[in-house]
Amino acid sequence: MRARLALFLSSRMLRGRDGTARYLRGSVIGIALSLVPLIVVMEVSTGMIEGITARLLEVGTYHVQVSLPSGTPLADMRKRAESIAGVSGVVAAVPERQGTGLLVTPRSAAGVSIRCVPSDIFAVDPGFRSHITLRSGTADLSSPDSLLVSAALAASLGVSPGDRISLLTTFGENLSGAARLTPVVVSGIYETGYQELDKTLVYGSLGLASRVLSPRGSRALIGVKVKDPFADLTGITDAISRVAGSETRIATWREIEYPRLASFRFTKAILIFIMALIVVVAAVNVSSSVIMIVFERRNEIGILKSVGVGERSLSFSFLLTGFATGVIGTAAGIAVGLLVSVNINEVIAGIEWMVNRVLEAASLLMSGFAPSAHARGTFTLFNSAYYLQSIPIRINASEVLTAAIATLLLCALASWVPAARASRARPLSILRKV
């Protein structure tokens, strides 16, 4: 009976057409609007971090790196890679030699990081193949003078597939030897979608490494891919160390990329904390709404208490009103937030388009008054030079559920104080003021 009465009173306050209902509508809108940026920040940052992490693992650092002595011969590198590939849980073991150089064209030059890999890397490493997009040309590295150049680098140098350029390297220890200028051919232009990897990286074959990189002036390693890189890799690294040799150094992707990934996590936590403060303010607004309802319905409270309605029923009715307000606002906010998150790339493109059209109109208007005004720049909300070219969409159900539960608890807690005060009111004191 008490529960039915509380539900009846709560439904009257929620459906009421008097002044009290507008307070609840305002609270619903406030909660919904506060949840939208929180959901968008959580889901967009999750997608960005997962997208960058995937590219770092599959194209950048591998899952496990086995560093070899710098002077390790190519035949020995291949032999060790074959031994590591036989370890249980290992999907691929790729011998690689890394170095630095200078790409020289008739018009410009650029410093590059050179990664010399097996010519059949696209066949032996599915993860590498899935995160490399060939924009033009071919990915064939069978020729010892072939070079895969990133799209960002190709644009800055003005090269295209088939162009013959030069690669300047030092052929000595610690980059102290004589410079060597080696002609190479741009076989293809690629993208990973992450500019941090693309902007200075070129790929060649291990045959090219013997021509442009000194054995002792470059880094030799074996990149290892495993079935589940996010699992505990201790057992696999122990097995790899037994077959790789005592003079090797083994590091997992978590150790190699720890500073970068820790920075991503910290940035995400700060953004979520700031957005969560907005939700807290919206929840406090629910408390204000319930207080106003209690004030405006004090006569009804006095009458209900005078006819025997208990404190628990009254308290529960106001508490249920605040909680129901939180439920409606949370549902609306999460729905809109997920809708924006799923279409975030289109939303960003639309905002950029509208702002640029406004700036263009303003520029045309101002040009009539100041013909010598400088040309305006293009407004960019999302600069792919620092992030991914597009934001991957990753909906994390546990994060959304946590945000919903936390918001509902805040709304219930915010409603509890005014609900408790309303239930303790004395009916005679209320009715005397009527």
Dihedral sign computed on CA atoms, order 183, 188, 192, 195: positive
What distance in Å separates the CA atoms of residue 206 and residue 96, rounded to the nearest whole number?
7
pLDDT per residue over 220-232, tens digit each?
999 999 999 988 9
By residue count, the chain amounts to 434
Ranges of beta strands (E only) in 206-360 are 219-226, 249-252
Grade residue 424 by pLDDT with cuts at 50, 70 and 90: low
In 3-state terms, what secondary structure has residue 216? coil
Grade residue 286 by pLDDT with cuts at 50, 70 and 90: confident
- Distance in angstroms between the alpha carbons of the first and the last residue of the chain: 29
What's CA 392's distance to the chain center, in Å? 8
What distance in Å separates the CA atoms of residue 291 and residue 307, rounded to the nearest whole number?
23
For the cut 70, the answer to whether the pLDDT of residue 201 exceeds it is: yes
Grade residue 1 by pLDDT with cuts at 50, 70 and 90: very low
* Contact yes or no for 228/57 (Cβ under 8 A): no
Instruction: With CA atoms as reference, report the closest residue to 135 among 187, 190, 199, 203.
Output: 190
Q: How many CB atoms lie within 10 A of CB 269?
A: 11
For the cut 60, the answer to whether the pLDDT of residue 21 exceeds it is: yes
- Residue 92, pLDDT score: 92
What rounded mean pLDDT belongs to the chain? Answer: 81
Mean pLDDT, residues 162-191:
81
Give the bridge partners for 279, in sequence order.
Answer: none
pLDDT per residue over 344-402, tens digit each?
888 888 888 888 888 888 777 776 655 555 555 677 766 665 567 777 888 888 889 99
Ordered by start, the domain boundaries in the chain are 2-52+261-363+379-432, 70-247
Name the residue type at position 228: D
Mean pLDDT, residues 107-136:
89
Mean pLDDT, residues 173-183:
70
- Lowest-pLDDT range of 71-75, 211-215, 319-323, 351-355: 319-323
Prediction pTM value = 0.75
- Residue 373, pLDDT score: 52
* Cα→Cα distances 220→188, 217, 412, Å: 24, 10, 60
Name the residue type at position 146: S
What are the backbone angles phi and psi of residue 192, rounded to the nearest 5°?
A: -105, -15
Grade residue 17 by pLDDT with cuts at 50, 70 and 90: low
Grade residue 415 by pLDDT with cuts at 50, 70 and 90: confident
Name the residue type at position 397: A
For the cut 80, the answer to whether the pLDDT of residue 23 exceeds it is: no
Grade residue 249 by pLDDT with cuts at 50, 70 and 90: very high
The alpha carbon torsion through 139, 143, 145, 151 (nearest 10 deg) reads 0
Mean pLDDT, residues 413-431:
64
What are the backbone angles phi and psi of residue 67, rounded to the nearest 5°?
A: -80, 130
Q: Give the single-character DSSP code of 388.
A: B
